[in-house]
């Protein structure tokens, strides 16, 4: 079993934002304490393979972890605003752009295998920042291609503020997961109903 949160974001950049869980609770849960955690998460999310992750983990790359966490918080600010129908704040939006520019400066354009001949950014080598580079690319892809009208935050008011792309047919998804905040909300509703009945 993985020590990471099961991904529910529907986009890698949102799953990355969700690695700080329970943002609106008294005890947010941080999943990325060290650079090694970041390299492990990157493999967990399918951004690098296991062998690359193991090589990257030999680095003690505190600066890369800081850069990744800065990117993560910028992604959160930008997409949480979008999810609430607000304009994303300028600072975080520029942080996403800046990290994306850094990432593609180190990437090659190669034909993709699964996207109908479309080219993709390819990252190689053992530069520690490789663990987060593809996340910045995914964030810009989601910003430029959408579907932004499907980006939502979890409806639990004092819960995770998890971000996800709602792919349900009638756009009715409200929770990060039904067995996460979804079930908590249900329990609270039932408790209120019981209390109201006295």
Binding footprint of Zn ion on the chain (CB under 5 A): 154, 156, 159-160, 162, 176, 181
In the complex, the smallest distance separating the C-beta of residue 90 from Zn ion, rounded to whole angstroms, is: 27
In the complex, the smallest distance separating the C-beta of residue 76 from Zn ion, rounded to whole angstroms, is: 14
Cα separation, 34 vs 111, in Å, equals 34
Output the six-digit token pair for 29.
Answer: 């849960």
Cα separation, 152 vs 175, in Å, equals 9
C-beta of 121 vs 164, nearer to Zn ion:
164
Query: Within a 10 A sphere around the Cβ of 10, how many other Cβ atoms?
Result: 18
Residue (of 108, 102, 103, 96) closest to 134 by Cα position: 103
C-beta of 19 vs 42, nearer to Zn ion:
19
In the complex, the smallest distance separating the C-beta of residue 190 from Zn ion, rounded to whole angstroms, is: 18
In the complex, the smallest distance separating the C-beta of residue 80 from Zn ion, rounded to whole angstroms, is: 12
Name the β-bridge partners of 110.
120
CA distances from 75 to 39, 119, 120 (A): 18, 24, 21
C-beta of 76 vs 133, nearer to Zn ion:
76
C-beta of 59 vs 152, nearer to Zn ion:
152
């Amino acid at each position: 079993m993985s020590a990471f949160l099961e991904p529910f974001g529907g986009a890698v950049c949102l799953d990355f934002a969700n690695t700080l869980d329970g943002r609106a609770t008294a005890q947010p849960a941080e999943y990325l304490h060290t650079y090694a955690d970041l390299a492990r998460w990157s493999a967990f999310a399918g951004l690098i393979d296991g062998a690359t992750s193991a090589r990257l983990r030999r680095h003690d790359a505190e600066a890369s972890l800081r850069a990744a966490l800065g990117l993560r918080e910028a992604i959160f600010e930008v997409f949480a605003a979008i999810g609430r129908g607000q304009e994303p704040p300028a600072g975080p939006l520029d942080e996403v752009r800046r990290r994306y520019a850094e990432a593609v400066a180190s990437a090659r354009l190669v034909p993709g295998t699964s996207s109908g001949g479309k080219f993709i950014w390819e990252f190689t080598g053992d530069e520690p920042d490789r663990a987060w580079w593809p996340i910045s690319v995914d964030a810009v892809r989601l910003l430029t291609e959408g579907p932004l009208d499907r980006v939502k935050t979890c409806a639990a008011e004092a819960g995770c503020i998890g971000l996800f792309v709602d792919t349900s047919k009638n756009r009715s998804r409200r929770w990060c997961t039904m067995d996460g905040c979804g079930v908590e909300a249900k329990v609270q509703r039932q408790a209120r109903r019981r209390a109201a009945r006295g």
